[in-house]
């Protein structure tokens, strides 16, 4: 089984038993009142950063230095990570598909902004399509809804989407339901809600609406909880 552990806010750890590769996304743990793990527990091989905001970069620098994990993200944000002393960085940008022993990671657009915790320009924000041992994840990052989510769903079979539902800085529930329908995904895990007051949403309402209006299944995870997902054996990109 492939597991996706929700660490709170937009952070996930993707792993598979007996495989070395552990993919950590947007590790905002220290300072997150609802963190599902401590930064010191994290021993990833790969860290993916959607953008430079503090609630996404989080503990990435420290975890990367301690673990030696490779950090992947857009050019400007990787320059920032290098300047902070991270040696193993992978500069990329939207459209790039980076191959790894577990599969590949593709950078896709997100409609948001991106600056580093010290206020410097951090390039464009992105989302990721991740092929992890055949299971295709789409982590949207921080984004408003956009019509080309349908294109992501056309180009890739999306098995599990992680979508923000908290509003104010991202999509809200109403838009995220439409995103699910554009993506044509099988599973969806809501994120970026209820961490702090400006982002609030009822994940049960999201689940009701998605399951009423689309064929997707909503998996609500409390911080620290893990979704066990099937390995996908059929072909598809």
Residues that bind Ni ion (CB under 5 A): 53, 142
What is d(CA 175, CA 114) in angstroms, rounded to the nearest whole number? 21
Binding mask 152-191 toward Mn ion (x if CB under 5 A, else -) reads ----------------------------------------
Q: How far is the CB of 167 from Mn ion (least distance, A)?
A: 12
d(CA 107, CA 97): 7
Give 76 or 159: the residue with its C-beta nearer to Mn ion: 76
Q: Which is nearer to Ni ion, 45 or 170 (CB)?
A: 170
In angstroms, rounded to a whole number, what is the distance separating the alpha carbons of residues 166 and 79? 30
How far apart (Å, rounded) are the C-alpha atoms in residues 46 and 110?
21
What's the min distance (Å) between Cβ of 99 and Ni ion? Answer: 28
Q: Which residues lie below 8 Å from residue 3, measured CB to CB, with a gap of 6+?
A: 14, 15, 16, 17, 226, 227, 228, 229
Question: Closest CB to Mn ion among 145 and 216?
Answer: 145
- Residue 111 CA to residue 180 CA, distance in Å, equals 16
State in angstroms the smallest separation of the CB of 42 from Ni ion: 21
Q: How far is Cα of residue 232 from the mean position of the Cα atoms in its chain?
A: 19
Stretch that binds Mn ion, among 26-34, 47-55, 102-110, 218-226 (CB under 5 A): 47-55
Binding residue for Mn ion, selected from 70, 76, 142, 159, defined by CB under 5 A: 142
Q: Minimum CB separation from Ni ion for residue 129, in Å? A: 19
Q: For residues 32 and 46, which CB has a smaller minimum distance to Mn ion in the complex?
A: 32
* Distance separating alpha carbons of residues 165 and 107, to the nearest angstrom: 21
Distance between CA 21 and CA 15 in Å, rounded?
Answer: 7
- Per the DSSP assignment, residues forming a β-bridge with 127 are 108
With CB under 5 A, what is the number of residues at the site for Mn ion?
A: 2
Element (H, E) at 61: helix 60-67
User: Which of Mn ion, Ni ion, none interacts with 9 (beta carbon under 5 to 8 A by kind)?
Assistant: none
Q: How far is the CB of 200 from Mn ion (least distance, A)?
A: 14
CB nearer to Mn ion: pick between 142 and 159? 142
- The string of DSSP letters for 63-91 reads HHHHH-PEEEEEHHHHHHHHHTT---EEE
Give the residue nearest to Ni ion (CB): 53
Among the residue ranges 79-87, 134-142, 151-159, 178-186, the one whose residues contact Mn ion (CB under 5 A): 134-142
Rule CB under 5 A: say whether 55 interacts with Mn ion.
yes
Enumerate binding residues for Mn ion (CB under 5 A). Answer: 55, 142
């Amino acid at each position: 089984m492939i597991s996706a552990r929700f660490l709170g806010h937009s952070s996930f750890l993707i792993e598979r038993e007996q495989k070395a590769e552990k993919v950590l996304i947007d590790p905002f743990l220290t300072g997150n009142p609802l963190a599902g793990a401590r930064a010191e527990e994290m021993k990833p091989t790969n860290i993916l950063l959607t953008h430079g905001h503090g609630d996404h970069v989080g503990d990435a620098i420290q975890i990367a230095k301690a673990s030696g994990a490779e950090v992947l993200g857009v050019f400007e944000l990787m320059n920032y990570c290098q300047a902070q002393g991270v040696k193993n960085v992978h500069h990329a940008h939207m459209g790039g598909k980076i191959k790894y022993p577990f599969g590949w990671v593709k950078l896709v657009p997100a409609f948001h902004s991106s600056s580093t915790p010290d206020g410097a320009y951090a390039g464009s924000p992105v989302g990721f399509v991740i092929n992890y041992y055949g299971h295709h994840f789409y982590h949207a990052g921080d984004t408003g809804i956009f019509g080309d989510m349908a294109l992501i769903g056309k180009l890739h079979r999306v098995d599990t989407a992680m979508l923000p539902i908290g509003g104010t800085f991202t999509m809200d529930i109403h838009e995220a339901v439409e995103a699910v329908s554009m993506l044509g995904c099988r599973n969806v895990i809501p994120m970026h809600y209820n961490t702090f007051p400006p982002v609030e949403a009822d994940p049960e309402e999201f689940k009701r609406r998605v399951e009423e209006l689309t064929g997707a299944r909503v998996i609500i995870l409390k911080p620290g909880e893990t979704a066990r997902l099937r390995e996908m054996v059929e072909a598809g990109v």
